Amino acid sequence: MEAAQKRLTEESDILNALENHQFAIWLQPQVEMTSGKLVMRKCYWRIQQPDGSWDLPDGLIDRIECCGLMVTVGHWVLEESCRLLAAWQERGIMLPLSVNLSALQLMHPNMVADMLELLTRYRIQPGTLILEVTESRRIDDPHAAVAILRPLRNAGVRVALDDFGMATQGCVSCSI
């Protein structure tokens, strides 16, 4: 009973954080070493702490997954990323943005339709959104993952493997 109550409290806290704008997108520049030129940015999300600071506490992603909210939080991250990209593109900035995509998000039945809808709604230019599939979360069927990603690649989304080589993953993933 205590574990169930804890999970409900965590779920409520996460949903409240989303509703109350306590999640934020943080950007890390990716710079070409030889020229010093900014070549892309990587998107990270953080949550506001009680002291006002922003952080991603240890275990938060696991708690979000355990509460069944990774798809919800992940969709928020994808939408905020597309909104940001659209604002850049309206000002003529065609800098790519890389966003992590968990295996849970990738394998969700509505992921492709939702992502294509975001690309259309925000008029994201081909080649400017990079989805980094996190290999730290297990993908049971890499062939299915490749098939899921194909329509997104056809729509101009670039695909990368995040932290490639940090976990065990079959070489079939390289064909993404």
pLDDT tens digits, 134-168: 854 567 888 888 899 999 999 999 999 876 554 44
**Residue 84, φ and ψ in degrees, nearest 5:** -65, -45
**CA nearest 84: which of 96, 70, 72?**
96
pTM given for the model = 0.83
In CATH, 2-175 is 3.20.20.450: yes
Provide the b/e sequence for 38-64 (b: ≥16 CB within 10 Å): eebbbbbbbbeeeeeeeeeeeebbebb
Query: Hey, what are 53's tokens?
Result: 């600071």
| The pLDDT of residue 143 | 85
